[in-house]
């Protein structure tokens, strides 16, 4: 099972995997092209920093897509900011805070909640597969270090799932190193990266045009 989703590269400052993922689904569902720079402005990302997943969810909604953000962790406690993040993510909190723009992230969380774009729920991979079968696109937050078997702190990365077979997941690897469309990886390896500390099993399901 494979969706024919356009492939876009994380070719800017190397920290725009979410913007590259947005390019993919905006082209797929709306046939619209946006530059990474334009999507930086729409998500309010500053150069050199990461994008909080709620920033991406809100921007996709504002651009006309029907989306829902799911996570095993409630969003509301994140409004507390740094104290909750340090308590929640433990040893990985330092790196997350280093690359986060907290005022922007917190503002996006408030808006995602007010627009009813969030549901506290952990998906099984069978549910993810069912969404792909229905033509929906899962955007999944993973730990890239876990994906490639590298030791080290949490390295957040956004994967656009494009398909699956019995043993493997296919996703757009936007880079910046070794970008590859429909990259194949064993399901067990992908699930380890999705279940890692720092991800909260976050996933945005893009259902289509709003």
pTM > 0.85: yes or no = yes
What average pLDDT does the segment 68-82 reach? 97
Please give the DSSP secondary-structure letter assigned to residue 6: P
139 contacts: CB under 8 Å, gap ≥ 6: 21, 25, 56, 158, 159, 160, 161, 203, 204, 205, 206
Q: Tell me the C-alpha distance between 42 and 118, whole Å.
A: 19
Summarised one tens digit per residue, pLDDT across range 129-156 is: 999 999 999 999 999 999 999 998 999 9
CATH number of this structure's domain 17-209: 3.90.70.10
Q: How far is CA 3 from CA 20, 39, 163, 182, in A?
A: 17, 23, 6, 9
- Residue labelled with tokens 């979410």: 18
Q: Tell me the C-alpha distance between 191 and 158, whole Å.
A: 13
Residue 55 has pLDDT above 90, yes or no: yes
> What pairing do the DSSP bridges indicate for beta strands 118-120 and 65-71?
parallel
Question: Residue 162 has what pLDDT?
Answer: 99
What average pLDDT does the segment 105-127 reach? 97
Calculate what percentage of the chain has a pLDDT beyond 70: 100
104 contacts: CB under 8 Å, gap ≥ 6: 44, 45, 46, 52, 55
Q: Tell me the C-alpha distance between 24 and 15, whole Å.
A: 16
What average pLDDT does the segment 75-100 reach? 94
Question: Residue 152 has what pLDDT?
Answer: 87
Q: DSSP letter string over 94-150?
A: HHHHHH--HHHHHHHHHHHHHTT-EEE-PPPHHHHHHHHHTT-EEEEEEEHHHHHT-
Among residues 179, 146, 51, which one has the least CA distance to residue 171?
179
Summarised one tens digit per residue, pLDDT across range 152-206 is: 899 999 999 999 999 999 999 999 999 999 999 999 999 999 999 999 999 999 9
Under the banding of pLDDT at 50, 70 and 90, the label for residue 120 is very high
Count CA atoms within 13 Å of residue 126 on its CB side. 0
Q: Are 172 and 37 in contact (CB under 8 A)?
A: no
| Average pLDDT score, the chain | 97
The domain ranges of the chain are 17-209
Q: Are 59 and 42 in contact (CB under 8 A)?
A: yes
- Specify the length of the chain in residues: 210
Summarised one tens digit per residue, pLDDT across range 17-42 is: 999 999 999 999 999 999 999 999 99
């Amino acid at each position: 099972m494979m969706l024919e989703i356009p492939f876009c590269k994380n070719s800017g400052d190397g920290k725009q995997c979410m913007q590259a993922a947005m390019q993919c689904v905006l082209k797929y569902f709306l046939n619209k092209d946006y530059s990474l720079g334009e999507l930086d402005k729409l998500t309010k990302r500053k150069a050199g920093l990461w994008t909080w997943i709620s920033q991406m969810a809100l921007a996709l909604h504002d651009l006309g897509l029907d989306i829902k953000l799911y996570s095993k962790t409630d969003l509301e406690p994140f409004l507390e900011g740094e104290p909750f993040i340090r308590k929640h993510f433990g040893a990985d909190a330092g790196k997350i805070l280093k690359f986060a723009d907290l005022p922007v992230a917190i503002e996006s969380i408030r808006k995602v909640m007010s627009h009813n774009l969030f549901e506290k729920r952990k998906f099984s991979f069978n549910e993810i597969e069912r969404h792909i079968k229905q033509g929906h696109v899962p955007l999944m937050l993973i730990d890239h270090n876990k994906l490639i078997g590298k030791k080290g702190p949490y390295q957040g990365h956004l994967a656009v799932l494009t398909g699956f077979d019995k043993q493997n997941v296919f996703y757009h690897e936007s880079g910046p190193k070794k970008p590859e469309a429909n990259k194949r990886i064993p399901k067990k390896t992908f699930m380890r990266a999705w279940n890692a500390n720092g991800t909260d099993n976050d996933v945005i399901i893009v259902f289509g045009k709003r």
